[in-house]
Chains A and B, each alone.
Chain A
């Protein structure tokens, strides 16, 4: 059976560690909409490599520390 994988991330945790940064603030810093940040946080949208690097750069982390390739969580 094929296992579906998603790009998971720690953006929510990192935002809170970063003076409780809001999605709106992160969106402004990366020049995307708040909806896009929300979609990335919920693993509903996979960002481009450029945006992933930008986000990692804002949190002063490597891209591997922010994003990971994981098996999708079972929502049922």
Chain B
């Protein structure tokens, strides 16, 4: 059977996946620079507080901007508009993606707490939570792409 071309949601999830990788990539680069500095333990909480706040704000702004730009470019290239309705298939796929991402996030927090018990420093906790945030976002997007592909 002939496979359908990539739909709006699949393309949007692929774009979202690249944004996620770029944003988290820059966050981990910042962290690497910070830990290579002379005294990385100085103002540790301040650094991670800034990282997490920056991450959330950055993700919100970047998503909004890219969503707008993506809609414009997609419309120009394919003539395809953003779907006006969200039907039961979209909701089922979204639920699957959000469920999986919540499991990953919960697992990440659990592992971070275990590391707090064994290592008793802040750095691994923040690093594990940051990684679990990233993985939860990636898993959600991958599930969206695979689910839309499987049902198209």
Contacts and interface: CB of A to CB of B under 8 A. Distances in A.
Interface of B: 1, 4, 7, 83, 85, 87-90, 150-152
B88 A35 contact: no
Determine chain B's interface SS by DSSP, over half rule. loop
10 contacts: A32-B85, A32-B89, A33-B83, A35-B152, A38-B152, A39-B151, A44-B151, A44-B152, A45-B151, A51-B88
A36 B87 contact: yes
Interface of A: 31-33, 35-36, 38-39, 42, 44-45, 47-48, 51, 75
A50 to B, nearest CB: 8
Contact of B7 (A32, A35, A75): A35
A38 B4 CA distance: 10
Contacts of B4: 35, 38
Contacts of A35: 4, 7, 89, 152
